[in-house]
Structure 1
Amino acid sequence: MITRRDLMIASAACGAISASCRVSRALAKPLSKTVHILTGFTPGFQDALARLVAGQMSSYAETIVVESRPGAGGRIAVEAAKSADADGSAMLFAPLGFMMFFPHVYKTLRYQPRDFTPVSTVASTPTLLTVGPMVPAEIKTLADFVAWCRANPKLATFGTPGAGTTLHFLGTMLGRGAGFDFLHVPYQGGGAIQDLAKGVIAAAVMPIGSSLGLVQSGDLRALATTGPRRCPFVPAVPTVREAGYPSLEDLTWFAFFVPARTPTQIVEKLNAAIQAALRTDEVRAGMAKLAVEPDVIAMEDFARLIASESDRWKTIVQATGFVPTD
C-alpha cells in the first residue's frame, strides 16, 4: 500500500520533471472563458491560499475567479463542482479530507471521490497540539501533558474546528493511545484558539497557522506537530513520532480537483499551470506567511494517495466508534 511517507520522498524528486514534460503536451493558449475556483468555506486561510496560487496561473486562463461556497462543512462547494461543466472552466480547491475522510463520517454524500479527477496537490501543513494557561507552566512536553491529563481527568479537554474532523480524531487517538479520557470540545472556525488562550479548555488540536502567532508570543505552548519531520515554522517543537505517538502522524493537504469527465488534455494543462505557479517566488513567499509549505504529489500518484488515506481513516473512524452523521 502506498503511504504518505513514500509519496513525500518520491514526489520531491519527480514532481518538477513530470510537470515540465506535460507542458509541451498541454494546450498552449490560455482559456478565454472565465474560470471559477470553488472553495467550501468563508473567506479566510483556504480562500487566501487559493487566490495566491490562482494569481500565478495566467498561462491557464485569462480570468480566474475564486468563489467561496460555504455550508454543510464544505460539501456545498464539492457538489457544485461535481455538477459544473467538465471543460476546465470550474474546479474545486479543497483539503484532501473531502475525498478520503468525508465518506466515512457522513451517512449520505451527494458525491463520491470517483466523481472528480485529482489534478494537483499544492501545499501541506501539519497539525499542532497546543496548551494554554489552564495547564501549569511546568508542563513542557507531550509526556508531561499526558501525565497531567491522567492526574486531572476533569480538565483534560481539547478543542478543534468541529466534530467529525480529522483534528477531532487525532485528539481522540491521543487519548486512546495514552490511556486517558480526552474530552473533545467542538468549535466553529478559530474559536478553539480563543478559548484556549482564555484558559477555558486545556488544549487545542488545530492547523499550525491558526495558533502560530500565539505560540511565538509565548501565550500558548506547542507540544508536538503531526508532520513526518519537524516543521520549519516551529523547529524546536518535536514531532508526534519523536514524542512516542507515531500513529498520530498526519498532514493536511490542499489540492485542486475537476469534474471526472474533464478531458485529459485540459487536466494536463491545468496541472502544468499549477506547477509553474508553485515555482514562483510570489507563491512561495505567500505560503510562508500562511504557515504552509509547497507540497506536490506527482499526478499519477495522487489518486493512489487518496485511496490509501481513505482506507487508513476508515479504520480510525471505525475504531473510535464514531457514528456517521447526516
Structure 2
Amino acid sequence: MTTRRQFNSRLTTLALLSATLPRWAAAQQSDVVRVLVGFPPGGSGDTLARRLIERLRGNYGSTVIVENKPGAGGQIAVSALNAAAPDGNTLLLTPPAPITVYPFTYKSLPYRPDDAQPVSLVCNFSFGFAVGPAVPESVRTLKDFMDWARVTPAKAMFGSPAAGSTPHLLGSMLAKAAGVELTHVPYRGDGPGLQDLLGGQVAGYSTVLGSYMPHLKSDRLRLLGVSSATRSAIVPDVPTYREQGIALDMMEWMGVFAPKGTPAPVVQRIAGAVQAAVAHPEFAKGLAEFGMTPRSSTPQVFAEQLRVETEMWRVEIKKLGFTAES
C-alpha cells in the first residue's frame, strides 16, 4: 500500500522532472513555428519559404509562418535566429552568404556563423545577369554589355539583392573576367532591385534566376546569361556565362538552420520534416517555375558543404579584394 507520504514524494519527484525537461520537449507540442527569411516579400527566397511552410504545416508544426526580417543582406534574420530559444520553434531559411561569405567581407558581424545550426538543404539554383531599359536595345549578350559599359562608365552599374551577397560577388567576378569596371548598387532584396532595373534606374542586375521569371515576358528586361554549367531548362535560349567566353560556373542553395544548442533529436526531427517536404511532387513542381531544383540533405552533409564553401569563398574574396566598406 502506498502511504500519503510516499504519494506526495512521488508527486514532488514528477514535478521536479517536469521542471527540468529540456526546452525542446515543448517544441513537440508547439502551436507556432516561425521560419525567418532575411529578405522582403516578393523575391524568390520569400516565395520558396512560403512553399516550404505549406508542406511543414501538420508535419512539423500545426501553425508554421514566414517572418520576413529584411536588412543587412540577411544578417538581421541570422541575428534573430541566434537570439531565439533553441527549442525548434524558430528556424531560418537562407542562402549561404550570411554564413559562408560575410565572415570575409565584414570586419565584424552581429553573430558568429557557427551559431546557426545546419539542418537541411532545400534546393539548388543558378544565377542570371539581366539588363533593363537603361541599356540600348542592341545589347543582347554579356560581351555587348561589357563593351557598352567600357564606353559609358558613368552608367555602368549593376544591382544585386545585397552588398556582399553571392549575386553581388558573382557580378563582380563577371566584370573582373571581362576587364571592366562596374559600379555596384546594393538593394534590400530583389523586389526593389528589380523594380529599379525595370524602371531604368540601374543598367544591369545580378541575382538568382528564379527572381527574373515573372518579368521575362516584359520587353523591359533582357536576360543575357546564366551561371550554370549547362543551359537552364526554363530559359533554354539563354546561353551560359561559359558559352560566352567567361570561365565561370556557379550554383547556389537555400538551406534551413536552427539556433545553436538545439538538441540533436530536435534537429533530426526538423531535418526529417524538411526532407519530406522537399520530396513532395507538388513542392518540386512549384520550384521548377522558379528555376530551382529540390535537394535535401542530412545535417551532417549540410555541415560539410558549409565547411568546403566557406574555404572556397575565403580564397575568392581575397582575389576580388572586396570588403563591405569598399
TM-score normalised to structure 2 length = 0.81
Q: Distance between the aligned counterparts of 2:139 and 2:288, measured in 1?
A: 29
What stretches of structure 2 of length at least 5 have no aligned partner?
1-24
1:16: which partner in 2?
A: none
What stretches of structure 1 of length at least 5 have no aligned partner?
A: 1-26
Displacement after TM superposition at 1:286 (Å) = 2.5
Q: Does the CA-based 8 Å contact 2:156-2:182 persist in structure 1?
A: yes
Q: Give the drift of 1:149.
A: 2.8
Structure 2 vs 1, CA of residues 133 and 81 (structure 1 numbering), >3 Å: closer, same or farther? Answer: closer
CA distance in 2, matches of 1:186, 1:32: 38
Match of 1:53 in 2: 52
1:238-249 to structure 2, matched below 5 A, reads 238-247=239-248, 249=249
**Aligned mates of 1:303, 1:206 — CA distance in 2:** 25
Aligned length: 298
Is the counterpart of residue 261 in structure 1 residue 267 in structure 2? no
Q: 1:244 to 1:299 in 2, by over 3 A?
A: farther
Q: Write the distance in 2 (CA, Å) between the matches of 1:201 and 1:87.
A: 43
Residues 230-289 of structure 1 show CA distances to partners (whole Å, capped at 9, x for unaligned) of 222212112222222233x22332111112322222212211111111122332233234
Query: For residues 47-73 of structure 1, what are the alpha-carbon distances to aligned partners after superposition, in whole Å with 9 as ceiling and x for unaligned?
Result: 332222122122223332322233443
Amino acid at match of 1:221: R
Which range is displaced more, 217-226 or 198-207?
198-207
User: CA 1:56–1:212 in structure 2 vs 1: closer, same or farther (change >3 Å)?
Assistant: closer
Deviation at 1:205, TM superposition (A): 1.1
Q: 1:85: how far off?
A: 2.3
Most deviating of 278-287 and 122-131 = 278-287
Report the 3-state secondary structure (helix = DSSP H, G, I; strand = E; otherwise coil) of the residue aligned with 1:135: coil
Match of 1:204 in 2: 205
CA shift, 1:298, in A, is: 4.7
SS class of match (1:37): strand
Equivalent position of 2:279 in the other structure: 279
Alignment partner of 1:35 out of 33, 36, 47: 33
Q: Which position in structure 1 is the counterpart of 2:148?
A: 148
Q: Percent identity?
A: 38
- Matching of residues 1-326 of structure 1 within 5 Å: 31-45=29-43, 46-57=45-56, 58-189=58-189, 190-247=191-248, 249-325=249-325
TM-score of the aligned structures, taking structure 1 as reference length: 0.81
In the alignment, is the contact (CA less than 8 A) between 1:81 and 1:92 conserved in 2?
yes
Aligned mates of 1:61, 1:140 — CA distance in 2: 48
- CA distance in 2: counterparts of 1:116 and 1:145, whole angstroms: 39
Which structure has the bigger radius of gyration?
A: 2
2:7 match = none
User: Counterpart in 1 of 2:19?
Assistant: none
Q: What SS does the corresponding residue of 1:246 show, helix, strand or coil? A: coil
